[in-house]
Amino acid sequence: MTHQLIIGNRLYFSWSLAAWLMVERFGLSDQVKTTVLYPASEDGVAALMTDYAPARTLPTMITAGGAILSDSMAIAEELASLHPNAGLWPAAPLARGTARTLANEMHSSFRALRSDWPVNLHRSYAPIIPSPAVAAELDRLEEIWTHARRVTAQDTPWLCGDYSIADAIFAPMAVRLANYGFDTRPTTKAYVAAHLADPALRRWRAMGLAANQTSDVFEYGGAARPWPGPAPLAAAPVTDGTAENATCPYSGDPVTHLLRIDGRIFGFCNAFCRDKTVADPAAWPAFMALYQS
């Protein structure tokens, strides 16, 4: 069974991040082919979707059975139906119901935050004064996130126990709050930190940085500040040297591109494999297994 997931630029497209996490976080990557599109603006998405009609938005998933799903919650629910043992929703009724209502509130609400503070995994910005509408939505996030953790009595970093669709749906919002310096309230602070440290989200960002498809159209005009997530291990691409490994840790193909880390040189089968590793080495288990061997 192979599905196709069509996503937008990893640095900016928030709902694409949510859909990809639904695949990556629940062990479905080997059953999904991912295609990345790079529209020049939000208005340019539809023009790139002609091969996937009638879909006109990103993300879109085409299931192995041919269903075209052009809505994030439709993708979520269909993945949960097609892969009932993957654990996309919590098993316990209270936790599952809570996760469902939170995911759908994110999907239908928070329009001020989504409009005023675009997701950006390329850079973060100095804190700004939120509008009254954004401030009210920040209050709402703290309220519902605190409610979810309280009523489900969980001690995991996530809202309703183990990572679920609700957490994938809120991952872009966590990035927003970190981007603009409003991850300060107790529940919000811990929850945003969990997302920024999540290896899956870090891999998504590393791939976005490696692709390097930045666009002024999607950038915010504020003063930049350092990325608020965990600092990556220091690595750099190099052109000379002998790799410790003969084959790429991801594909198994012969190495052609090199990086240096801690004075050691490792090889990869192409520039993208190397550059995504340079961006955040510790986010990639296959590379870390090689590095620590």
CA distance linking residue 98 with residue 159, whole number of Å: 9
Q: Which pLDDT tens digit goes with each residue over 59-93?
A: 999 999 999 999 999 999 999 999 999 999 999 99
Q: Does the residue 226 lie in any domain? A: no
Q: Does the residue 88 lie in any domain? A: no
Q: Which pLDDT tens digit goes with each residue over 5-45?
A: 999 999 999 999 999 999 999 999 999 999 999 998 888 99
* Whether residue 159 sits in one domain with residue 59: no
| pLDDT confidence tier of residue 1, bands split at 50, 70 and 90 | low
* Whether residue 103 sits in one domain with residue 66: no
Chosen domain end from 82, 117, 145: 82
Give the residue numbers spanning the domain of 271: 235-291
Please tell me the pTM assigned to this model.
0.96
Q: Does the residue 227 lie in any domain? A: no
First to last CA, the chain: 34
The residue among 64 and 128 whose pLDDT is bigger is 64
Q: Does the residue 209 lie in any domain? A: no
Alpha helices by DSSP H, the chain: 14-24, 72-82, 93-108, 111-116, 132-152, 165-179, 186-197, 199-211, 271-279, 285-291
* Whether residue 248 sits in one domain with residue 181: no
